[in-house]
Amino acid sequence: MSRVVFDIETVGFPWDEFDEKQQEYLTKFAKSEEEVMAIKEKLGLHPLTGKVVTIAMYNPDTKKGMVYFDSGNDTKYDHIENNITFKSGDEKYILESFWQDINKFDDFITFNGSRFDCPFMIMRSTILGIKCTRDLMPPRFEKKPHIDLAKVLNFFGELEKSFNLDFYCRVFGVKSPKEGEINGHEVPKYYDMGKGLEIAEYCVGDVIATAELLKRIEDCAPPPFIKKWN
């Protein structure tokens, strides 16, 4: 059995790339400039208004990984650092590389991937005419081949409240990727500054943290909790 953890980072398209009708549609319920600004800041949360700028993939068993990313500038990257291969390109290259690589693995692990990463990548790939090579959205309560830790740790909605990756990491004693200079909310700012490499490094931190969280669960949780993972 081979498995991989993956995570994505996204940014919204520039506002002036939307035509008048699109801008009107996006802001039709906004009642103030503040609400319009809030809408613009969230464009990266939907595949019709944003794009993928980073996909990190990490094998929790070999401790090796890949990260494909848009550098945000003219610099091209193709290097290995701490067993992680960094390669830069545009969104089409990033997605095509992901769909090629994901076929090498039996199972894949995400944190909240079924609600965000997977549908986002499927939709962006479809828009760009890229063939999706795997079904990333299996039935809701299945734990294989997609292990979404956000769902598993919430017992598929049985617990009243869900928490983010940072909170789980702090509780379980796993180093949180959110402890560095950058967090998810700052990705668009870093991208606009041409700091795609920093975003890629941050995304790698997410997949490594997710892998460590997975290990903690596998080591300690009772068999019914993880029986379908093995």
Indicate the residue type of 41: E
Q: What is the pLDDT of residues 175-217, one digit of tens each?
A: 888 776 787 788 999 999 999 999 999 999 999 999 999 998 8
Count CB atoms within 10 A of the CB of residue 89: 17
User: Is a pLDDT exceeding 50 seen at residue 136?
Assistant: yes
Q: How many domains does the chain have?
A: 1
Contacts of residue 127, Cβ cutoff 8 Å, sequence gap at least 6: 47, 48
Q: Highest mean pLDDT range out of 14-18, 71-75, 137-141?
A: 14-18
For residue 69, how many other CB atoms are within 10 A of its CB?
27
The reply to whether 49 falls in a domain is: no
21 in a domain, yes or no?
A: no
Q: Does residue 40 lie in a domain region?
A: no
Q: Is the pLDDT confidence value at 228 over 50?
A: no
The two tokens of residue 69 are 């990313």
Q: For residue range 22-49, list pLDDT tens digits in order.
A: 999 999 999 999 999 999 999 999 999 9
As given in the structure block, the two tokens for residue 6 are 């993956």
CATH number assigned to the domain comprising residue 132 = 3.30.420.10
165 lies in a domain? yes
Q: Residue 43 falls within a domain, yes or no?
A: no
**Is 129 a member of any domain?**
yes
Domain that holds residue 129: 3-7+55-229
Q: Is residue 83 part of a domain?
A: yes
Residue 26 lies in a domain: no
pTM of the model: 0.92
| 27 to 23, 42, 48, 51, 194: CA distances (angstroms) | 6, 12, 15, 20, 28
Give CA separation, 137 vs 117, 119, 183, in Å.
Answer: 10, 8, 26
47-61, 140-154, 193-207: the lowest-pLDDT one: 140-154
227 pLDDT more than 60: no
